[in-house]
Structure 1
Amino acid sequence: MIPQIRSRVLWIVMSGLVLLLASVHLMIGGLDQHEEKSQRLRFLPDGHFLRTASLGYRELTADVLWLQAIQVMGERKVSPEAGRWIYRLLDVVTTIDPKFTWAYEAGGIALCTLVVLPEESNRLLEKGMLHNPEEWKFPFLLSINYAFELGEDAKAAEAMALAAQLPGAPSNLGRLAANFFVSAKAPQQAIDLLSDLYEKTSDPGTKSLLGERLKRVAVERDLQLIEGSIARYRQSHGGLPSRLEDLTTSGILEKLPIEPYGGRYEYDPHSGTVRSSEISERMTLSMKRRRDSL
């Protein structure tokens, strides 16, 4: 009788788990058809409750919810509301399974690539660092956020220095940390490191997000290059160039950089400012503007 009782209990538990996962999947997955995306936040389950309810099947529960996050991250345009939903859902996922490293990595990148939510990205990455202290990618991505989204170079240097000390970290992370301490931004070195991470990443979703992040940093690198060239032109010619091509004809730039999104770099000869036609806000200015408006 005891084996039969145990089998019956196991069947009841498994049935309950299946029903729980199915209800969660339908509850948050069906909102695309019946609710505004901004309403998703109201339907997110509590991570600690699901961690307890899933018993020994935490990884399976986390995987089901992870699939929901992937669907939203794959949308062509992610609104701030959807971005906050991604953060909340990934917080639930990583509460259920704190060792789910892909969720931290992909989420941390997505929250600063698909939508500009660096604080939420940082909280997710810091949570990953807490539960996975030997994973160098989390403090590395945290450092990139501090440097290029928040403009906080001291914190960027601290996070990069921590990443450099962890197992498997690229050898040049220490040098990049030193550059942050000394001179602020180093976009080309960030590109080199992100490119190395891109090549070593096997997960297609994470790889796609890293590719998008690389483009964003490349735009910032190009804008800094053009701005520096405009400053040198003004110093040597006593005025602003009338067009960007003047930077090449004068020999200050060998050639103009190619906008990585397939757009163009637009120049205002009256103010001397330059921007990408495809990116609405600079990485290093977006959060400053938001803070200044408060």
Structure 2
Amino acid sequence: MVISRFNILKERALSIVIVAVILFFLIAPLSYLLNRMPYSDKRHLYYVPPLNYLSLLSGTHKLSIANLFFIRGILDLSEEFPPSVDRTAYLLRNFEIASTLNPQLLQAYFFAGIVVPRTREEIPRGIKFLKEALKRNSQAWEIAYWLGFNYYQLGEYSKTIEYYKIASSYKDAPSFLKTNLAYLYYRTNQAQLGILYLKGLLESIKDRRLLELIELKIAWLKNIIFLEDQVKKFKEIYGLWPKALEELIEKGLIDKIPEDPFGKRYELDEEWYKGPARVKSRF
């Protein structure tokens, strides 16, 4: 009993020493930075300690320190940053420390990769962060999904497909990831590949509702391929692109426009006149 109490006291003392050492190593650089900062920047200390220091000194307190930097990053998301501070770099550093000390802290990856980048120009920095995150935590489908989402925002649909495929391969990934790939194949002008992909899914899916959804998406893509083929024929015959799908009926190329299983109806996209005219759903 005495030995047990002694061990507890010893552990507490060691914890105090560790925290003291961490503070000691941080005081010097903090003081130096404070003295060099203009007065306006001193109102908020935009300093992030070196990750290797924290990794080395945090010991058994890694989770607690990870939470501190995660909370700091969250609170500073709405902060007004002075021109001398790189907002994105500062926030990403906080979330990098949080997710490195605790690789299971999924929220840190989400905020760093999705929330911190506020403009199209900043999205690549979120992508870079998430790629590193995927190395630290390869067990979470969400990281690959967020990577795909960022590429989708940039309009890089081939990359979106690549990472959505990775995300959908996880056992606990939601089923919509598998079926949404068909739409992305369509966006990359690979509707036929989308159909082949969905037909492959039919053999491995047992859920009845999901099977019905896949069959609907196959029908949706087949209709689009059919209509786009007829649009190309129109161009070959008349030397110009049709302004609307109804012109295909007027010229006798089709009897009717197929029913759209997802949207209100099929139509040509807004830039049909530039060619090749694409068919889309009106939602």
* TM-score range normalised by the length of the shorter chain: 0.5 to 0.7
Higher-Rg structure is 2
The equivalent of 1:155 in structure 2 is: 159
**Deviation at residue 121 of structure 1 after TM alignment:** 1.1
The equivalent of 1:101 in structure 2 is: 106
**Deviation at residue 147 of structure 1 after TM alignment:** 1.7
Report Cα offsets for 1:229-265 as digits up to 9, x if no partner: xxxxx947xxxxxxxxxxxxxxxxx9xxxxxxxxxxx
Report Cα offsets for 1:176-205 as digits up to 9, x if no partner: 2232233149xxxxxxxxxxxxxxxxxxxx
Q: Is the 8 A contact 1:44 1:89 kept in 2?
A: yes
> Normalised by the size of structure 2, how large is the TM-score?
0.53
Return the alpha-carbon distance in structure 1 between the equivalents of residues 105 and 12 of structure 2: 27
Question: Given the superposition, is the C-alpha separation of residues 178 and 93 from structure 1 closer, same or farther in structure 2, using an over 3 Å criterion?
Answer: same
Identity of aligned residues (%): 17
Question: Given the superposition, is the C-alpha separation of residues 159 and 59 from structure 1 closer, same or farther in structure 2, using an over 3 Å criterion?
Answer: same
Whether 2:91 is the aligned partner of 1:86: answer yes
**Deviation at residue 156 of structure 1 after TM alignment:** 0.9
Question: Given the superposition, is the C-alpha separation of residues 27 and 65 from structure 1 closer, same or farther in structure 2, using an over 3 Å criterion?
Answer: farther
> Paired residue for 2:149, among 120, 125, 144?
144
> Paired residue for 1:112, among 96, 109, 117?
117
Q: CA RMSD in A?
A: 4.0
Give the residue type in structure 1 aligned to 2:59: L
Return the alpha-carbon distance in structure 2 between the equivalents of residues 38 and 23 of structure 1: 20
Return the alpha-carbon distance in structure 2 between the equivalents of residues 160 and 175 of structure 1: 10
The equivalent of 1:176 in structure 2 is: 180
The equivalent of 2:41 in structure 1 is: 35
> Normalised by the size of structure 1, how large is the TM-score?
0.51
**Deviation at residue 66 of structure 1 after TM alignment:** 1.2
> Paired residue for 1:69, among 73, 76, 79?
73
Aligned residues: 185
Return the alpha-carbon distance in structure 2 between the equivalents of residues 22 and 96 of structure 1: 20
Return the alpha-carbon distance in structure 1 between the equivalents of residues 14 and 96 of structure 2: 25
Whether 2:78 is the aligned partner of 1:57: answer no
Question: Given the superposition, is the C-alpha separation of residues 67 and 38 from structure 1 closer, same or farther in structure 2, using an over 3 Å criterion?
Answer: closer
Give the residue type in structure 2 aligned to 1:137: E
Q: Is the 8 A contact 1:107 1:121 kept in 2?
A: yes
The equivalent of 1:164 in structure 2 is: 168
Give the residue type in structure 2 aligned to 1:46: P
The equivalent of 2:253 in structure 1 is: none
1:1-294 matches, within 5 Å, as 6=7, 9-19=10-20, 20=22, 35=41, 40=46, 43-75=47-79, 81-113=86-118, 116-149=121-154, 151-184=155-188, 235=243
**Deviation at residue 123 of structure 1 after TM alignment:** 2.4
Q: Is the 8 A contact 1:77 1:114 kept in 2?
A: no
Q: Is the 8 A contact 2:114 2:150 kept in 1?
A: no
Question: Given the superposition, is the C-alpha separation of residues 58 and 177 from structure 1 closer, same or farther in structure 2, using an over 3 Å criterion?
Answer: same
Question: Given the superposition, is the C-alpha separation of residues 74 and 95 from structure 1 closer, same or farther in structure 2, using an over 3 Å criterion?
Answer: same
**Deviation at residue 17 of structure 1 after TM alignment:** 3.7
**Deviation at residue 148 of structure 1 after TM alignment:** 1.1
Question: Given the superposition, is the C-alpha separation of residues 164 and 77 from structure 1 closer, same or farther in structure 2, using an over 3 Å criterion?
Answer: farther
Report Cα offsets for 1:87-127 as digits up to 9, x if no partner: 12211222222222111122211123478522221122223
Question: Given the superposition, is the C-alpha separation of residues 34 and 52 from structure 1 closer, same or farther in structure 2, using an over 3 Å criterion?
Answer: farther
Gaps of 5+ in 2: 190-241, 245-263, 265-283
Return the alpha-carbon distance in structure 2 between the equivalents of residues 66 and 15 of structure 1: 22
- Tell which has more relative contact order, 1 or 2 (C-alpha 8 A, sep 6+): 1
The equivalent of 1:243 in structure 2 is: none
Return the alpha-carbon distance in structure 1 between the equivalents of residues 75 and 148 of structure 2: 27
Return the alpha-carbon distance in structure 2 between the equivalents of residues 235 and 76 of structure 1: 49
